[in-house]
Structure 1
Amino acid sequence: MPKALRNLLWPFLFLISGAGAASVLCPAESAQVAERIIGYPDSVVPAYRLRPWLIGIICFVPFIASVIYRCSSTLDRYTIRVFLNSFAICFGALFIVMFLEDIQDNLSDFQESPQMWELLAKHYLIKLPALLVFILPYSLMLSLLWALGKMSKSQEIVAMIQTGRSITRIVAPLISFGFLTSIVCLIFNYHWAPYADSQEKSILDAASGKAKTEAKHVAFQNGDDTRQWYVGSFPFDHSQGAPLQSVSISVLDEHQTLRQRIIADTATWSLEDRKWTLTKPVIFDFSADETTVTPHQSSLVFDWPETPFQIIKPGLKPPLLGIPGLTSWLSNHRDHPLSDKRTYLTHWHYRFSLPFMCLITILLAAPLGIVFNRRGLGGGVAVAIFLCAGMIFCSTVFPTLGESGHLPPFIAAWATNILFTFVALILFYRRMTGQPIYQTIKSWFGS
């Protein structure tokens, strides 16, 4: 086979496989979005309609990466190959460790179900995006330190510098890889990683035979402020007709005066006729001078426009909502006096900022992995581990400060990225100017 055709083989195979995957996944995602929009008529529809397009982008990421690789120079391709070998080992090892730890914790629950293998496969297929988002930054840091340390030890970095390349130019393909993984994490973090976190408990409950509950003790007020709902328990499959449990509905007049209260054991919403059926409701009427209580032994049907999706939305926790869900929540509840806007807005910004930790990890690890003496590698690894622990700590503390109102939501979400990008630029400057990093830090602590 000619060399030109051999170079095009892998991009062509990735293009075909990506097109095949997109032809299957995108229509399925579009169908889920269409069902979601029916249940959430007040949603920000463009945010949901973006989901199939993002799935399509994910399918073609290997093709895009292979084209970029083929268009790179010989030294860049060599650097990428060395890094990818280390990355495959580090990522695979962390993935196996996380998988074995999770299955050890949850295997007893799955063994209680007669559909063990089906639920097991469903659980880890749904959980895969969240797992990838979690372990990618650590895999990038470990593999970059390993790859650049090995190239430094064999004097390959020095040889590249002697060809006229700067340190920034040497690590440029690795920074590009970090940017690409950040985009992948951003797409997963848009919807599928938070969705995986929200589904984990329900799948484990189903495996152990418990009732699958998506939310409890949810309060909701409709758009024209004429009905206030309180739902004791939301079953996980409420969209398929499962009844809501322990329902109380307060009906108000235009002056916000309580006129009627309806209490029922269950309330079921029909997707076909969009009507509510309340089982054996008890109606308290406050419109007359005396309160009347009317119990019904049969079911009553009400033509209310609210849907279970709208009612459950205030009961969903921000960490379990993706960007479409958070955008819709903020659009509908931003001016509500009882809404916790800070928490949802902080998580909305955090959904965008978190994936770029992959790129920041590359920027931190690159100057620490490149060393020009034998003693520097161990010190660089120590500093990298210390900085990684600092990133984990800050990515937990700053969003908490945003949720509590001590920091603006935007600053709380992006503060970790801004802080450690500044640290990375300092490390790059010291490495480019030949100034020691580990020895300087050690002298600070020593003094």
Structure 2
Amino acid sequence: MKIIDKYILKRYLVTFSVMLIMFIPIGITIDVSEKVNKMIEKKIPLTDILVYYGDFTIYFANLLFPIFLFLSIIWFTSKLANNTEIIAILSSGISFSRFLRPFIYGAAIVSVFALIMGFFLVPKASKGFNDFRYQNLKGNNKTRETSDIFRQIKKDGKLEENIYVSNYNYLSQTGFNFTYERFYDNVLVEKVTANRIRYNEISKKYTLYNYNKRLIGEFDDRLLKSDKIDLTYNFEPDDLTPVVYVAETMTIGQLNSFINKERERGNGNINTYLVVFYKKFSLPVSAFILTIIAVAVSSMKRRGGMGVNLAIGIVIAFVFIFFDKVFGTLAEKSSIPPFIAVWLPNFVFGILAVYLLRNAKR
């Protein structure tokens, strides 16, 4: 690696790090100002608050990663252009493609870091961040409730098992108006109802209150009743939690296994899980695309100086984020394949990157 490569790569990584160090405290300050009253009112321990803001830092950095990266590259590349350093580099006989090489090295380093973060660290931080907010800052547990949940928990040949709860609270792991139905060859053979169902972490069993069980026979039915009973079922509490929240808190291996299990169950919300899964790969790839666009936009010395480049960069970065969010939502709510929806922004901006790069070379 030549001196020019080391120089640009160092500026790339240092500027990106400084951008994170600058903006994350701003985000924390704004968050503290909004929530400090509730923290004091509920007397939340300092250690819990510190853990929360540790998770907040990782969650916030991952959420705005494309913007931080894009603006940091535009910032230091514009400085190179304004100081006529780029003109000197290209005048020495170095081609624009060769000038771009250390930027690609930097993008590769950042992409690997983002990949590891998305696979292992961000899921844990997302769980801690959301748990703290919903448990301590939202005012009541109803914000963690899902309603009208239907799940197919087993499909084996002619045998089929379904469950339903009208409401489920994640924090207390309690569901209401529970129904379990077992079918054989599309004929109902067993039905269980309960006013309330609660999961026990220690025994790994479910406690059902006002339990009613009907075994449907060919000529007559059998009825069983109990005020309270502990049973084991073939589903986990995570099957009843908010869909996006569950996917965001899983490592790549856990999420892949979870998706396969839900696909076998015929879960209609499978697209939501797939969007989260594919984004773990598409986000690091976007580092290369945004790097090329940023260099192409900011390598030219403009009359308005660095401010013009930053304005262009901010517009492009927010358009990218807008596309990413819109197509992700469309994949969850419509028939658009999740893979296409997640990767389409990278494809569109990849074409833009090639176009801008060709113009920059000229």
Bin the TM-score by the shorter chain: 0.7 to 0.9
What code does the residue aligned with 1:200 have?
F
Gaps of 5+ in 1: 1-71, 239-243, 434-447
In structure 2, distance between residues paired with 1:149 and 1:330: 44
How many residues end up aligned between the 2 structures? 354
**1:306 paired residue number:** 234
Cα deviation code 1:258-302 (max 9, x no counterpart): 433231433334545x544434534455548677765434x3233
**2:11 paired residue number:** 82
**1:281 paired residue number:** 211
Asked if 1 retains the 8 angstrom alpha-carbon contact of 2:154 and 2:265, the reply is: no
**Does the residue aligned with 1:124 lie in a helix, a strand or coil?**
helix
TM-superposed deviation, 1:104: 2.1
- Residues 309, 229 of structure 1: alpha-carbon distance in 2 compared, 3 angstrom cutoff: same
**1:267 paired residue number:** 198
**1:222 paired residue number:** 153
- Residues 275, 73 of structure 1: alpha-carbon distance in 2 compared, 3 angstrom cutoff: same
* Counterpart among 101, 122, 125 of residue 30 in structure 2: 101
TM-superposed deviation, 1:237: 6.5
- Residues 168, 109 of structure 1: alpha-carbon distance in 2 compared, 3 angstrom cutoff: farther
Asked if 2 retains the 8 angstrom alpha-carbon contact of 1:178 and 1:359, the reply is: yes
**2:268 paired residue number:** 339
Relative contact order higher in (CA < 8 Å, ≥ 6 apart): 2
In structure 2, distance between residues paired with 1:181 and 1:358: 7
* Counterpart among 387, 394, 397 of residue 326 in structure 2: 397
Asked if 2 retains the 8 angstrom alpha-carbon contact of 1:269 and 1:307, the reply is: no
Tell me which moved more, 206-215 or 196-205. Answer: 206-215
**Does the residue aligned with 1:371 lie in a helix, a strand or coil?**
coil
- Residues 227, 264 of structure 1: alpha-carbon distance in 2 compared, 3 angstrom cutoff: farther
Greater share of residues in strand: 2
In structure 2, distance between residues paired with 1:375 and 1:337: 57
Cα deviation code 1:422-443 (max 9, x no counterpart): 111211111112xxxxxxxxxx
In structure 1, distance between residues paired with 2:141 and 2:242: 21
Asked if 2 retains the 8 angstrom alpha-carbon contact of 1:401 and 1:412, the reply is: yes
Asked if 2 retains the 8 angstrom alpha-carbon contact of 1:109 and 1:204, the reply is: no
In structure 2, distance between residues paired with 1:237 and 1:356: 39
- Residues 316, 367 of structure 1: alpha-carbon distance in 2 compared, 3 angstrom cutoff: closer
**2:170 paired residue number:** 235
In structure 1, distance between residues paired with 2:113 and 2:172: 30
In the alignment, structure 1 residue 121 sits paired with structure 2 residue 50: yes
TM-superposed deviation, 1:364: 0.9
**1:430 paired residue number:** 359
**Does the residue aligned with 2:191 lie in a helix, a strand or coil?**
strand
In structure 2, distance between residues paired with 1:162 and 1:199: 52
Asked if 1 retains the 8 angstrom alpha-carbon contact of 2:199 and 2:237, the reply is: no
- Residues 380, 406 of structure 1: alpha-carbon distance in 2 compared, 3 angstrom cutoff: farther
What code does the residue aligned with 2:64 have?
I
Cα-Cα RMSD: 3.2
Asked if 1 retains the 8 angstrom alpha-carbon contact of 2:67 and 2:318, the reply is: no
Cα deviation code 1:132-165 (max 9, x no counterpart): 2123322222222221222222222222223322
Identical aligned pairs, as a percentage? Answer: 20
Asked if 1 retains the 8 angstrom alpha-carbon contact of 2:123 and 2:248, the reply is: yes
In structure 1, distance between residues paired with 2:264 and 2:163: 19
TM-score (norm 1): 0.69
In structure 2, distance between residues paired with 1:216 and 1:362: 40
TM-superposed deviation, 1:375: 4.5
**Does the residue aligned with 2:283 lie in a helix, a strand or coil?**
helix
Tell me which moved more, 374-383 or 171-180. Answer: 374-383
